[in-house]
Amino acid sequence: MDESLLRELVPAVIGLLVRRGADFASAEDAVQEALIRALETWPDDPPRDPKAWLVTAAWHRFLDAARAETSRRGRELAVRVEPPAGPVPATDDTLRLYFLCAHPTLPRSSAVALTLRAVGGLTTRQIATAYLVPETTMAQRISRAKRRIAGLPLDQPGDLATVLRVLYLVFNEGYGGDLDLAAEAIRLSRQLVALTDEPEVAGLLALMLLHHARRASRTGPGGRLVPLDEQDRSRWDTGLITEGVAILRAALERDRLGEYQAQAAIAALHADARCAAETDWAQIVEWYDELLLLNDSPIVRLNRAVAVGEADGARAGLAALAELSPDLPRYAAVSAHLHERAGDLGPAADLYAEASRAATSVPERDHLTRQAARVRQLLGR
């Protein structure tokens, strides 16, 4: 059975139920129950029209729930509405559901989870596994999010920037459990690109593709982290790189630069280098300067300091880093790298050790610990 087809149908089915009178939370619950039923029955008895099957099953689930809540006048009215006979209309509410699930009134963590469930068609268990939290915790998070947007109609959604931010966060969650969140974010972003004509949406997709192309080379045996400059570039997915660059070029030609396009341009320059030594760091610094005009954040400045250190020398990078707060995530790791390149091995070893203690993942911690040990070995010589 094609589970990807099921996921693609979910937004349209939810939208149809909402148009027939269901509130968003009830429609989403009904569709999830219909999906479970589909997973149980379709392998042995596949429907001729999967979308119509899901609409009918979800509508019946909704009616059952509505009849159990007869005290609510709106639900009683919905019970009297029966699904029309004939083909299911092709109205696509996917884009509206993106905006509703990523509404600015929701906390970002809740918006991400709700987007994965309502638009991505994932079960609560899958999302909980991906985030390494108990299923009950994720269920509560999703329920709270649905209650918060329960009174918002589909024609009063949030803004595009929030939708893109949610997808960006989904991608950056990385890879955990049985679900590849990065691949899921790419799938959802492809849908959004097909539904809107904004170059920044294309820029985000390009950024994801260019980063995802390096996935196979990012880790070594036992999950060991491999830094960008040490990665085996022959393992990079040239198909994804070619696609990402083409999408980015088309977006940049629109002359409406956004931060995701700028980030994608930086990723494209890394992808274009046949080896780390051939990286065009000067142009990367220029793109970071463009990015700062769009998003002057400490994290962007931190990454720019690394690029300056590569383009203009470690001392220049340390000077750029000195303008930032040492409390920033990865500050110690960046400082260690620049101090090592400048020949300051003592401070570099201590900073690598400090960074390892602040690492947020086991692979990152182990990598920084090895870096500290390596530099101390150099000192011993």
User: What pLDDT, on the 0 to 100 scale, is given for residue 79?
Assistant: 38
pLDDT at residue 69, as a whole number? 59
Q: Which of 118, 106, 95, 104 is nearest to 148 (CA)?
A: 106
Residue 23 C-alpha from the chain's centroid: 27
Q: How far is CA 368 from the centre of its chain?
A: 25
Q: How far apart (Å, rounded) are the C-alpha atoms in residues 4 and 1?
A: 9
Report CA Rg, the chain.
Answer: 24
- Six token digits for residue 79: 């019970």
Q: What pLDDT is stored for residue 174 in this prediction?
A: 64
CA distance 135 to 328: 32
For residue 95, give the nearest of 192, 162, 200 by alpha carbon. Answer: 192
DSSP-assigned letters across all residues of 308-346: HHHHH-HHHHHHHHTTS-TTSTTHHHHHHHHHHHTT-HH
Are the C-beta atoms of residues 318 and 309 closer than 8 Å to each other?
yes
pLDDT at 319: 97
Half-sphere exposure for 338 (CA within 13 Å, toward CB): 27
pLDDT in tens, 286-304: 999 999 999 999 999 999 9
What digits encode the pLDDT tens for the residues 297-350?
999 999 999 999 999 999 999 999 999 999 998 999 999 999 999 999 999 999
CB atoms within 10 A of CB 15: 22
Find the Cα–Cα–Cα–Cα dihedral 169, 174, 179, 181, rounded to 10°.
Answer: 30
41-95 per-position pLDDT tens digit: 888 888 888 888 888 888 888 777 777 654 444 434 343 434 444 444 444 566 7
* Mean pLDDT of the chain, nearest integer: 85
Calpha distance 96→152 (Å, rounded): 11
pTM: 0.76
- Convert the pLDDT of each residue in 129-151 to its tens digit: 777 789 999 999 999 888 888 77
d(CA 45, CA 51): 15
- Measured N-to-C along each axis, helices 238-252 and 259-272 cross at an angle, to the nearest 10 degrees, of 140
Judged by DSSP in three states, 100 sits in helix
Task: Name the pLDDT band for 251 (thresholds 50, 70, 90).
Answer: very high
The mean pLDDT of 209-216, rounded to a whole number, is 94
Q: Contact at 8 Å (CB) between 193 and 289? A: no
CA dihedral for 5, 8, 12, 15, sign (positive or negative): positive
In this prediction, residue 223 carries a pLDDT of 84
Query: Bridge partners of 219?
Result: 225
Q: Which string of b and e fits 349-359 if b means at least 16 CB within 10 Å?
A: bbbbbbbbeeb
Min mean pLDDT across 139-153, 211-225, 345-359 is at 139-153
